[in-house]
Structure 1
Amino acid sequence: MKLGVMLPQNWKFDPRTDLTRAAREAEQTGYDSVWVSERLLYPQDQTGIHRLTEYGDGAWPDVYRKVLDPIVAMTLAAAVTTRVTLGSAVMLPPLHVPYRLANSLAGIGAASGGRVVAGLGTGWSVDEFAAAAPRPMAERGAALDEFLDVAEAVWGPDPASFENERYTLWPAETGPKPAAKIPVYLGGWGPKALDRVARRADGWLPVMVPPAQVGATMTELRAKAEQYGRDPESVRATAIIALGGEFVRVDSAERAPYQGSVEQIMEDVAALAAVGVDEAVFTLHTIAGDIEHYSELLGQFHSAFRAAAI
């Protein structure tokens, strides 16, 4: 199993120095990948339609404030590393013009020597869609499919071409091309999202999903991929583990997955590996108070992962 880490992009960290330090240290420590996320804004009004519905009181978490652009973050990480994979978990194509985002990812794929993984989602914030999206929020699933169509053309051989009712790419040279195929991993949990994974993605990005559910869903995804004429084993999984709170052992039978001591969290990671998950990615930035704390956590979690022999 591989081990990855989310890079520190939010307001607690200095974009001039902290992100590049984190990327270098992650590579030097032995992590296999570094990941970036996308959050365009932090709304002042967080009531009504502006709520973050995943949270009980609707408030957006503090880590969503002033998040560095993922293309900028990925480019900075690429410039100071040579080995680690550069992933996004997740980037939101419905908030972008498809060609521009596809071309930017291709450029990073070229400059990094082919180390990019495109982890993508549809988005959920009405504020972000109102501010930036080329298409209405109600069309976000179709917008993601549209991006995948455009990316296939842009990342593929020249002459690249694409046409639909919104965009026309007449046959043209585009590039630079990525130095290696850019795998596409998709987030989401609903039926439409999972169908899209089975139909056209290289992998799935479950976030905080219990190991048993991940295993059951992967079985379903691979069966559906086979129905679409794909090799079922070509559909992989990278699990995102959002850390929070104190790492104190919880002996109750009601312990939630990925909670408790670091050792208990690693037991859950081992359970993910047992159901076929290829990589676990930790969100150390959600609990680190500053770059020094983040650096300490890098070492702590890498050591615990290796000690668990996962």
Structure 2
Amino acid sequence: MKIGIGLPSQVREVDATVIPAWAAKAEEAGFSTLGTVGRIAYPAVLDTVALAAAAGATHTIGLLSTVMLAPVWPATLLAKELAGIQAVSGGRLTFGVGVGGRPDDFVVEGTSTKDLGKRMDAALEAYRDLWSGKLVGGGDNAGVPGGSVEVPMLFGGFAPAALRRMARWGEGYVAGAMPAPQVVPVFDAAREAWRAEGRDGGPRLVAIAYFALGDVEKGRGNAHHYYSVAGPEYADLVSAGVNGSADVLRETVKSFQDIGADELIFHPTTDDVDDVARLAEIVL
């Protein structure tokens, strides 16, 4: 199982200047992937900006959103931004995508929490059109250089429709921030959807967890605040699950290995850049 690390872009009141250095240190340490989590209505850095900054500060490490919410964006604009990050990074981006539902994310004029599934399906078609080099807006120009661009996709979500989209459009599945035993049924459902679509092999299965090693209590408080919009029960679950010691981190790694995860990404809950080296010493 590969081990990745998140960027601190979602940390409340993040010092955004640490993001490029964090990315470079993560690559040097040997992590597989840099991940992002993000909300629009939050004092942090948007996924696309963080991923672009990380792309410019690194050379080999993978880049993955876990996950971005497609319907909060105008589809062609997001497809264009992702294509640009893919080009800048030399093909290292994987787009983790979900439907979402937090009302305060839907701030762009013309978006809302209505008809999310239909809008998601339309967005996927728009991404494919732009990435395949089709002309944009009825004009004479494509939206990407070189004819086309490949942006692999992973999907999050629990609904059957989300799993069907994953099997039709994607390379795999990203689980939510839950302990490994709770992830087992969603991984199983992803595998079943993959088989039902007639896909060869199996989906790439990615899990996420949270950690803080320099100031664990601050990290747990940040995680609780971030997820409070989902209700106190889920916020309590995520904050209590912030990995704050070497023994707990090793147990978490083993628990996700045991359920067949292909990759585990540890997202930070503080912007203490020294946590990159601290985590690497324990889990790599």
Shorter-chain TM-score bucket reads: 0.7 to 0.9
Aligned to 1:270: 254
CA distance in 2, matches of 1:178, 1:66: 37
Task: Name the SS of the counterpart of 2:127 in structure 1.
Answer: helix
Q: Is the 8 A contact 1:238 1:280 kept in 2?
A: yes
Partner of 1:240, secondary structure, is strand
2:134 matches 1:148: no
Alignment-derived partner of residue 171 in structure 2? 202
Q: Does 1:7 align with 2:21?
A: no
How many Å separate the matches in 2 of 1:122 and 1:169?
Answer: 27
Which range is displaced more, 21-30 or 173-182? 173-182
Alignment partner, residue 46 of structure 1 = none
Greater per-residue helix proportion: 2
**1:91 corresponding residue in structure 2:** 68
- Give the equivalent residue in structure 1 for 2:229: none
User: What SS is found at the alignment partner of 1:283?
Assistant: strand
SS at match of 2:95: strand
Which amino acid counterpart does residue 265 of structure 1 have in structure 2?
L
| Runs of at least 5 residues in structure 1 that lack an aligned partner in the other structure | 42-64, 163-167, 248-255
Query: Once superposed, what is the RMSD of the aligned Cα atoms?
Result: 2.7
How many residue pairs match? The answer is 259
* Cα distance, 1:76–1:177 mapped onto 2, change above 3 Å: farther
Q: 1:12 to 1:178 in 2, by over 3 A?
A: farther
Give the deviation of 1:184 after TM superposition: 0.7
Report the identity percentage.
29
Aligned counterpart in structure 1 of residue 265 of structure 2, from 281, 296, 299: 281
**Alpha-carbon distance, 1:38 to partner:** 2.4
Conserved 8 A contact 1:207-1:240: yes
What is the TM-score when the length of structure 1 is the normalising length? 0.74
SS in 2 for 1:87: strand
Matches within 5 A, 1:171-186: 172-176=141-145, 181-186=150-155
SS at match of 2:114: helix
**3-state SS of 2:254 partner:** helix
Written as runs of structure 1 = structure 2, the 5 A alignment for 1:112-131 is 112-129=89-106, 131=107
Matched residue type, 1:24: A
Partner of 1:230: 199
Q: 1:208 deviation in Å?
A: 2.5
Give the corresponding residue for 1:239: 207
1:221 alignment counterpart: 190
* Structure 1 pair 303–220 and aligned structure 2 pair: CA distance change class (3 A): same
SS at match of 2:85: helix
Judging changes above 3 Å, is the alpha-carbon distance between structure 1 residues 177 and 99 closer, same or farther for their aligned structure 2 residues?
A: farther
Counterpart of 1:224, as a letter, is A
Residue 115 of structure 2 corresponds to which residue in structure 1? 139
Q: Tell me the amino acid that sits aligned with residue 266 of structure 1.
A: R
Does structure 2 conserve the Cα–Cα contact (< 8 Å) formed by 1:95 and 1:133?
no
Task: Give 2:189's aligned amino acid.
Answer: E
Alpha-carbon separation, structure 2, partners of 1:178 and 1:143? 26
Alpha-carbon spacing, 1:133–1:67, altered in 2? closer, same or farther (3 Å): farther
Q: Which of the pair has more CA radius of gyration?
A: 1
Amino acid at match of 1:191: P
| Aligned match of 1:300 | 278
- For residues 270 and 192 of structure 1, the distance between their equivalents in structure 2, rounded to whole angstroms, comes to 30
More deviation in 98-107 or 218-227?
218-227
Match of 1:24 in 2: 24
Q: Displacement, 1:31?
A: 1.1
| CA deviation vs aligned residue, 1:208-246 (integer Å, no higher than 9, x gap) | 33323433432332222222222241x111111023656
Q: Determine the structure 1 residue equivalent to 2:161.
A: 192
Counterpart AA for 2:177: M
Amino acid at match of 2:58: T
Larger RCO (alpha carbons 8 Å, 6+ apart):
2
Superposed CA deviations along residues 126-183 of structure 1, whole A, max 9, x for unmatched, are 1222x21634312122222222111112222x3x169xxxxx6578533136996322
CA distance in 2, matches of 1:265, 1:122: 30
Structure 1 residue 24, shift from structure 2 partner: 1.0
- Aligned-partner Cα distance in 1 for 2:129–2:58: 28
Q: Which residue of 1 aligns with 2:236?
A: none
CA displacement at 1:262 relative to structure 2: 2.8
Paired residues of 2:13 and 2:44 also in contact (CA < 8 A): no
1:237 counterpart SS class: strand
Seen in structure 2, the aligned counterparts of structure 1 residues 203 and 138 have a Cα distance that, compared at 3 Å, is same
